[in-house]
Amino acid sequence: QMDVNFKAPFFLAQAFAKNFQKGAVINMLDTDIVSSHGSHFAYLLSKKALAEFTTMAARELGPNMRVNGVCPGPMLPAYADDVAYMAKLPTVLPLRAIATVQQAVEACAYLARAAAVTGQLIFVDGGQHVL
């Protein structure tokens, strides 16, 4: 989990900044970074580390590099058992809807072109992170 979810984005951002000196990095996080519970300890820890890296890198790599993150919530069932969970989830979310993959893509597109935005984490989760 640490290799895929933290080390790879860390080294890719580092290489990108070194080779291009200007641009935008968008890290893919998870809405659950705001909590400390769940059954996926290593996964959550790696995403929390990436979130902290995102804000630290924004400070360190500016002004030429912008670093932001998108924190999607559940969008698609990963397992057969998730179908019931995904059907119930909208009933408890503040926006009463699960975010779509397209909405996460739109958040990334916004961050790619928003020249005055760095160090931000955008939650695309129907409000799940505030529960």
Q: Report, as residue numbers or ranges, the catalytic residues.
A: 43
Residue 106 corresponds to which amino acid? E
Tokens of 35: 């909590």
Cα maximum dimension of the chain? 46
Query: For residue 112, which of 69, 72, 75 has the smallest C-alpha distance?
Result: 69
- Rounded Cα gap, residues 48 and 25, in angstroms: 17
